[in-house]
Structure 1
Amino acid sequence: MGHTLDRIMQHADEIRAEGAVGDTLMRLPDNSAKRLRESGVIRMFQPKEYGGQEAHPREFAETVMAIGKLDGATGWVAGIVGVHPWELTFFDARAQEEIWGEDGDMWMASPYAPMGVAVPVDGGYVLNGRWAFSSGTDHCGWIMIGAAVGDKDGNRTDQVLHVLLPRSDYDIDPDSWDVIGLRGTGSKDLIVTDAFIPDYRTIDADIVLSGNGWRHAGRDETLYKFPFSYIFPLGITSSLIGMTEGALACYIAAQKERVQVTGVPIKEDPYVLFAISEAAAEIESARVTLLETVDRFWDKTDRGDEISFEERAVGRRTQISSAWRAVRAMDEIFARAGGAAVHRKTPMQRFWRDAHVGLTHAIHVPGMIYHSAALTQLGGDPQGAYRAMI
């Protein structure tokens, strides 16, 4: 992590400043993308044979948090795009060579939601559909997206694939991303029309979601045995916690010399001082609990022990609660930041907007995960949708 994070921090001031540019462009600025590429953060989960680091997930999480603390959108793109090399490792070797063979820094965008239909044909599938929320997609040369397998009439079946397409096989809708937060992520819509996908550029989603990707691919590294249900959300939640750390840093910097309308300096207001400590402790607790689960899962995986459904459910509960905990803490200090914090020229309001939009991502919805974690601990056996993403 050291070298990757060091390379990022060399450009910390520029990444902070370009956050405002990305907020206006509604995509990651070219310079920010260039710095991410040069830092190696997107190669942290990439296999070593293609120039990757095969890094510990904790190192990845801490690096993404640090980037999110500089700029929320840049951290978000690093966290999402950075997970895709982990899954590509499970695809056919021909697909890996096609994407990384000539350019080890090739980026892939998503999403995994099966918003389109892939109809079987000789040698592969023909894909059609429209996918929303493709973060960082303007800077990616490939996409890794979910697709429902269609029957001969094009109707959806229950089988879901993850498929790979080069930039020449899809369009990006430039007008599909106009939002209140995470604007700089450029999470635009993708449109695919009658694209042929050879079999080797597909993988059954169940292989990945079940945690058997490493067996399918014949890998034995600890990194690739790690549960998908914790790897995939990790980059997203890490970037979100980084955003709240960025908001806290902005708040503290702004309050040092601030005098309230009552004439009382902030440094002499015991209520504000309490709020600062309370928020800082909550954000730090969110960070630590997320990373503790990563370390525990890694150690258990490295020993060759299985991580049970209950452990995974509780781990997902911890990941979700960390996100909500950090955002609630950020809200407490934003509400005490004074009128200056709402000006668009100040970065604190952007962290606040970005974090709240980040909390709306599907992996941060607590309902079914909390239900499943509690039910399992009570001796129950969640089924169907209640086992999804665990």
Structure 2
Amino acid sequence: MNIPDSTEYIDIANGLAEKVAGRVEEIDEGRRIPADLAAEMADAGLFRLLVPKSLGGGEVPHPELLEIVRIFARVDASTAWCVNQNNITATDSVRMPVETAREIWGDQRAAITNGPPSRDTIAVPTKNGYRVTGHWDFSSGSSHGTWLVARGPVEGRPGEIRTSLVPKVDVPMVDTWDVNGLRGTASLSFDLDDHFVPENHTYVDSMATYEDGPLYVTPKVPMYSIGFAALAVELARACLDDAIGVATKKSQHGVSSPMIDRPTVHRQIGKNEVTLRAADSYLRSTASKMWDAAVNRGEVELAIRAEIRMASTYAIRQAVKVVDAAYEICGAGAIFKRNAVQRRYQDIHVIVQQFQGRPTNFETAGRYYLGLDTIGSL
């Protein structure tokens, strides 16, 4: 199989993003990436970008994945969200038993989807495997996913969190995804009830990896955070560009001067350009530190992970402010579903409600800088 290099993947993403742009209403209304479009993305390798080449993946450097996420975010946040989440989850291909990884990624259209477990989730050890019971939400990309990731504690093994891999065809999805933003992510739920999972379809994150490249020494949590923050920044960029376009052409009812001639509009645009560029600059520099550490030192130290948590949360929350300002500038026309600003407004307000956008993340980072135990994930 001919595997593109990272530069070719950027070109592929640009081409497919054009197709996504022409189908954003279909994605939003259908609450999923259309099957034919998802299949084309899978065939192009866009759901195996971080899978090692030894398993037929792209193994692209993380900065290239971020650029691909940004490319899709400029046209549709839901598609970008799936690209980020599905690919980072796929780095577990080097933690699971190699025969299982080959089973999964031997399918060119493979994609694994994950979500957080409910409190009552449990895996009970049994002969040759586990009996898994529980409920999982937010399984983004479930419409095109082929395997489900079910994480949870193990009975009788305090502190152990084990991941079980279950073919999606074996599990009925539960459609709880009745939301206003990120509608196209198909972030459905699923239940397992005393479901048998073979031992070789399970693993724990602490298992030794059989690949030691920089992608596989980088923890998933900071990679998720940076990717979703990059998505938020690009969404806000598109929204602000839309607002600038409106301001150059529009006059508001009851106001004598065109918007382009009003100092208040000048100030709004200028302040929000600074806000967005500053947040993006901090995010990019922190992402660069993370990758440099992984490449040159073979680990991402806690200090860098704390900074990633701050930079990602800050970028997401600043992006919300920029989108809100752009929405205001666009006026009454922004309230209609046909307006891209309305969709982006809904998307960003779903993004900020997720774990990566919570203001309590600053507390986690603050505790680190005060020399205290961190409460929360870095």
When the two structures are superposed, what TM-score results if normalisation uses the length of structure 2?
Answer: 0.91
Matched, 1:343 2:343: no
Aligned to 1:255: 247
Matched, 1:166 2:167: yes
Matched, 1:107 2:100: no
Change in 2 beyond 3 A, CA 1:130/1:14: same
Matched, 1:389 2:373: no
Separation in 2, partners of 1:93, 1:219: 11
| Counterpart AA for 1:111 | G
Aligned to 1:98: 103
Structure 1: which 5+ runs fail to align? 208-212
Separation in 1, partners of 2:71, 2:225: 17
Matched, 1:240 2:228: no
User: Where do 1:1-390 residues align within 5 Å?
Assistant: 1-101=6-106, 103-113=107-117, 116-151=121-156, 158-174=159-175, 176-205=176-205, 207=206, 216-261=208-253, 262-304=255-297, 306-367=299-360, 369-378=361-370, 380-383=371-374, 386=375, 388-390=376-378
Secondary structure of 1:139's aligned partner? coil
Separation in 1, partners of 2:231, 2:40: 17
- Residue 265 of structure 1: how far off its partner (Å): 2.0
Q: Alpha carbon RMSD of aligned pairs, Å?
A: 2.1
Structure 2: which 5+ runs fail to align? 1-5
Separation in 2, partners of 1:143, 1:242: 29
Secondary structure of 1:86's aligned partner? helix
> Does the CA contact (< 8 Å) of 1:23 and 1:183 recur in 2?
yes
| Counterpart AA for 1:382 | D
- Residue 239 of structure 1: how far off its partner (Å): 2.1
Separation in 2, partners of 1:182, 1:242: 15
- Residue 119 of structure 1: how far off its partner (Å): 0.8
Change in 2 beyond 3 A, CA 1:256/1:33: farther
- Residue 134 of structure 1: how far off its partner (Å): 0.9
Separation in 1, partners of 2:233, 2:94: 27
Separation in 1, partners of 2:44, 2:260: 39
- Residue 370 of structure 1: how far off its partner (Å): 1.7
- Residue 344 of structure 1: how far off its partner (Å): 0.9
1:146-180, CA deviations, whole angstroms, 9 ceiling, x for partnerless residues? 122124xxxx9542112211123311013x11111
Identity of aligned residues (%): 24
Separation in 2, partners of 1:158, 1:252: 52
> Does the CA contact (< 8 Å) of 1:67 and 1:242 recur in 2?
no
Secondary structure of 2:162's aligned partner? strand
Secondary structure of 2:33's aligned partner? coil
- Residue 20 of structure 1: how far off its partner (Å): 1.4
Aligned to 2:3: none
Separation in 2, partners of 1:268, 1:334: 19
Separation in 2, partners of 1:289, 1:80: 22
